[in-house]
Structure 1
Amino acid sequence: MINISHKLLLHYIHQQDYNGWDLFDGLNSTLLQNTPLYKFEFIRLAVIQFFKRSPLNLRKLASVPKGYNPKGLGLFASGLLYSGKYEEAENLLVQLKSMRCPGYSGVCWGYNFDWQARAFYVPKGKPNIVTTVFVANSFLDYFEKHGVAEAFNGLDTAISACEFILNHMVLSEDEDTLCFGYIPGEEARVHNANMLGAALLARVYSHTKNRKYYDKSKKSMAYSIKAMKNDYSWPYGELNHHQFVDNFHTGFNLVALKGWMDSTGDMAWENELRDAFRYFLETFWLKKGCPKYYNDTLYPIDIHCSAQGIVTCLKLADYDSRSIPMAHTIAEWAFKNMQDKRGFFYYQKTRWYTNKIPYIRWSQAWMFYALSFLLSKQNPKL
């Protein structure tokens, strides 16, 4: 069943040419951009939330074009590498090199839409650390399989991304800790963004032995480890409205910490990782693999949680005997309950309705990456 689900999804992705709408792309509406309303922050936030929450896809009516999302392309490229489709992955990586954000010291990537959050406004093309990390990891995935290719050197790209992080993303640093920001020039502190940055630095350290990357990444990890609660949960961030504990961001944190430990050989936080993973398994999942969104709330049931859940269980398989069976259970629940017969995955199920909009990054890229990774574990020769 997983093979069939994967093939159906890849067929749909090929039909779309990796191009599509995004959960947060409402501000790409040319109708809105051509009115004075666009300059008001509360209008921009309301538009983002409207398109995000509506089960009806009104983007065509609002003249929101489909687009190529760098983070989505990075996930697709990594998934294609896991699937043994190297030439197709190379094409996406070449495309990603042309989508870099100019004007920064080091390579970096952002989203293909203006983005209004409660904490900040980010214009299209401004980089963020999360997108940069996932894209850089796709180049590293290629490098670790093929080394230096004629068209590009994935390690050089990842090194340059690390320099961007160190030059532009440090919010605070003292003798023991460091915190990376999400967006250049913005002060919001988000733990998954901080830890993802640390994990990338550590992964590049494993290839270069650049001690600066190890030292900075360890201080960054120490910052977010201190934020862990007594029950081994993590709040999303430090602002008042960032105190929630949710499924997939917790998964990001766990995978980032595990990746950091694997890359550095430093096992200082192994006990914390083991306990936090147990919390993840016992808090965010129903028995048949249905994901809870928050630690205390089932709805909305979100495909992003399913995808990250598969990845998290596979990456941390050595820490709990339930991991591998759980990854399969999550995958089976997802394609039985969230996959359309045309191949794409739905966005969310709420208490009252299912939102079937086929978001290219949030749903398709993440599930393709997760299922490709799962299948690669079954067939290590890929």
Structure 2
Amino acid sequence: MTKKSDYLTKAENIAKWLLDNPNKEYQNLCWGYPFDWLSKIFIPKFTPSGVVTSNIGRGFWDLYNITNEQIYLDACISICEFFVKSLNRTVTDNGLCFSYTTIDKFQVHNANLFVAEFLIKIGNHIKNTEWMRLALDATEFSLAEQNNNGSLCYWSKEDMNKYNMSCSVDHFHSGFEIRMLHSIWTISKKDSIKKAIDNYYNFYSDNFFSEDFAPILEPKGKYFIDIHSCAEALICNSVLINEYQQAKEIINGTANWTISNMQTQTGWFRYVLYKRKNKIRTIDIPYLRWSQAWMLLALSKTLEVFTNEIKEKK
């Protein structure tokens, strides 16, 4: 966007480091979080994750489209091979669900759709119809679980029953899912997917923003703003700005609110802002992964949208 070569050089250096440091226990490229974490099971650090790996893959895909260097496309292909060969799958009458990591069989919709989106995107580019079929089967699994109001629960219905959990819907996972569905639709052009996106986005835009465009964490919930929700609000609506009239208004409002309320005087973004006993309180921790990286991406996407709009008006 800026045409500054030093940014590209930094990106290529990061890409090289990632290529040199995957999880080497697997034949194909994959990565996980560099820390232990506890879900329904204990997941050791570096356990390959579909979410982590697909987001890294998105970086390689962007670099390939910018540089046309084969090494980055090869990385994307290797990632897809990891998805189809090493992630577990749950197969149902409605489709299939890719696991969150290699050591679980969780059915988590955002993770499933991250994998599906990457498979159909790379599969479409290299004409791998099997990857595209798997991607659409995974998409159908998640769409079959869409709630009447358009939303998706974090876990599948089977897993909610298995682990005795209620439906959980939050801002940033909803944004992830809407974006992945939109990308899948741009390739497949399936009417059923577009209808699902319309319903989901209408729910999202109606329920996840306060009157001043603060991106609240839970639908029509308490005034609790996580910086990840701020970032995803900007990214998701930047992707959808040409599809939905309210997207531009949300971007403008949320960008202004986030900069005014979540950015500190030294430039970094705080973690959380919330109301308690009618007082605004904050948690001012400058998390790199959760806060700063995602907000840099969000602001870049916002700038890109409005830069393109200015160019179109000239």
TM-score for the superposition, normalised by structure 2: 0.90
Written as runs of structure 1 = structure 2, the 5 A alignment for 1:67-146 is: 85-117=7-39, 119-146=40-67
Counterpart residue type for residue 243 of structure 1: C
Aligned equivalents of 1:80 and 1:362: distance in 2? 25
Match of 1:157 among 64, 70, 75: 75
Q: 2:267 aligns with which of 343, 350, 371?
A: 343
- 1:212-267: CA deviations, max 9, x gaps? 11100000000000111001111111333362111110100000000111233434
Asked if 2 retains the 8 angstrom alpha-carbon contact of 1:257 and 1:273, the reply is: yes
| Whole-angstrom CA distance in 2 between matches of 1:288 and 1:184 | 42
Alignment partner of 1:229 is 2:147: yes
> Which whole-Å CA distance do the structure 1 matches of 2:95 and 2:181 have between them?
15
Q: Is the 8 A contact 2:90 2:105 kept in 1?
A: no
Instruction: Figure out how many residues of one structure are paired with residues of the other and give that number.
Output: 299
Match of 1:331 among 245, 250, 255: 255
Q: Partner of 1:260 in structure 2?
A: 184
Deviations 1:319-344 (CA, angstroms, capped at 9, x unpaired)? 21111221121111101000011111
Aligned to 2:289: 361
* RMSD between superposed Cα atoms in Å: 2.0
Match of 1:137, as an amino acid?
R
SS of residue matched to 2:192: coil
For residues 30-84 of structure 1, the C-alpha deviation after alignment (integer angstroms, 9 at most, x for no partner) is xxxxxxxxxxxxxxxxxxxxxxxxxxxxxxxxxxxxxxxxxxxxxxxxx999998
Q: Give the direction of change, closer, same or farther, for the CA distance of 1:135–1:81 in structure 2 (3 Å limit).
A: farther
Equivalent of 2:98 in 153, 160, 180: 180
Paired residue type of 1:148: E
CA contact (8 A) 1:105 1:167 kept: no
Q: Which runs of 5+ in 2 are unaligned?
A: none
Gaps of 5+ in 1: 1-78
What's the % identity of the aligned pairs?
A: 29
CA deviation string 1:112-158 (max 9, x = no partner): 111122x1211111111100000001000111111116xxx211111
Q: C-alpha separation between the residues in 1 aligned to 2:201 and 2:4?
A: 24
> Separation in 2 of the partners of 1:83 and 1:226?
45
